Structure 1
Amino acid sequence: MGFVTSLNQVSLMFLLMAVGFLANRVGFIHEQTSKDLTAILLYIVSPCLIIKAFEQPFSVHQLTQLSLAFVGTVLSYLVAIIVGRLAFHRVKNTEQRTALQFGTVYSNAGFMGIPLTNALFGSAGVFYSVPYLAVFNLFNWTHGINLFKSEKNQSSRRYMVRSVLTNPNIIAIVIGLIVFLASFKLPTILQSGVNYISGINTPLSMMVIGNSIASIKWRELFSDHLIWPGILLRNIVMPFLTLLILAVIGLHGTALLATATMAACPVAGIVVLFTLLNDGDPAFAVKLMSLSTLFSIVSLPLMIAIAAL
Structure 2
Amino acid sequence: MGAFTIINQILLLAILTAVGSLAFRFKILEESAKEIIQKLVFYITLPLLIVTKLSVLEFTDEILKNGGLVVLFSFLIMILQLGLGKLSARFFALRKPQAVIHSLHHMLGNVVFLGFPLVDTLIPGGEALLYAALYQLVLNALLWSYGVIQLNPDDSQKGLKQFKKLINPNTIALSLGLIMMLLKIRLPDVLQQSLGGLGSTTTYLAMLYIGILLAQMKMKEIFSISIFTFSFTKLVFSPLIFMLSLLVLINYFLLPLNSVAFTVLVLESAMPGMTILVLLAKRYGADDALAMKNFFVSTVLSLITLPLILYLIQWSQN
Describe the superposition over 1:229-255 as per-residue Cα deviations: whole angstroms up to 9, x where unpaired. Answer: 111111112222332344424322122
Matches within 5 A, 1:136-155: 136-150=139-153, 152-155=154-157
Instruction: Determine if contact 2:81/2:234 at 8 Å carries over to the other structure.
Output: no
**Structure 2 counterpart of 1:191:** 192
CA distance in 2, matches of 1:37, 1:155: 31
Question: For residue 210 of structure 2, what is the amino acid of its counterpart?
Answer: I
Q: Name the counterpart of 1:125.
A: 128
1:131 aligned partner, one-letter code: L
Q: Number of matched residues?
A: 306
Taking the aligned partners of 1:142 and 1:5, their CA distance within structure 2 comes to 38
Instruction: Report the alpha carbon displacement of residue 2 of structure 1 after superposing the two structures with TM.
Output: 4.1
Q: What are structure 2's unaligned runs of at least 5 residues?
A: 250-254
**Alpha-carbon offset, residue 49 of structure 1:** 1.0
Name 2:163's counterpart in structure 1: 161
What is the Cα-based RMSD across aligned positions, in Å?
1.7
Secondary structure of 1:89's partner? helix
1:60 aligned to 2:66? no
Match among 295, 302, 315 for residue 296 of structure 1: 302
Tell me which residue corresponds to 1:237. 237
Q: Is this contact kept in 1: 2:82–2:106, CA < 8 A?
A: yes
Q: Is 1:177 aligned to residue 178 of structure 2?
A: yes
Matched residue type, 2:217: I
- The residue number in structure 1 matching 2:260 is 254
Q: After superposition, what is the alpha-carbon deviation per residue over 1:163-208, rounded to whole angstroms, capped at 9, x for unaligned?
A: 112x211111111111111121112232122211111011110010
Deviations along 1:1-38, whole A, 9 cap, x unmatched? 34443222112101100000001101122222210110
* Conserved 8 A contact 1:76-1:241: no
Residues 260 and 2 of structure 1: is their aligned pair in 2 closer, same or farther, counting only changes over 3 Å?
farther
2:294 is the alignment partner of 1:276: no
Equivalence for 2:36: 36
2:160, 2:286 → 1: CA distance? Answer: 24
| Partner AA of 1:138 in structure 2 | A
**Distance change in 2, residues 1:186/1:245 (3 Å):** farther
User: Quick one: structure 1 residues 276 and 157, their matched pair in 2 at CA, closer, same or farther if it must change by over 3 Å?
Assistant: closer
Q: Match of 2:133, as an amino acid?
A: V
Percent identity over paired residues: 26
Instruction: Give the Cα separation in 2 of the matches to 1:21 and 1:73.
Output: 32
Q: Which residue of 2 aligns with 1:212?
A: 213
In 2 relative to 1, CA 142–220 (structure 1 residues): closer, same or farther, beyond 3 Å?
Answer: same
Secondary structure (helix, strand or coil) at the match of 1:266 reads: coil
1:88-139 superposed Cα distances (whole Å, 9 cap, x missing partner):
1353322321121011111101110000011111133212322211111111
Whether the 8 Å contact between 1:69 and 1:246 is mirrored in structure 2 is: no
Return the offset for 1:54.
Answer: 1.0
CA shift for structure 1 position 281: 4.2
Higher RCO (C-alpha under 8 Å, 6+ residues apart) = 1
Counterpart of 1:137 in structure 2: which amino acid? N
Alpha-carbon deviation of 1:218? 1.2
Matches within 5 A, 1:2-21: 2-21=2-21
Q: Are the aligned partners of 1:272 and 1:286 in contact in 2 as well (CA < 8 Å)?
A: yes
CA distance in 2, matches of 1:230, 1:147: 18
Preserved CA contact (<8 Å) 1:137 1:170 = no
- TM-score scaled by structure 2? 0.91
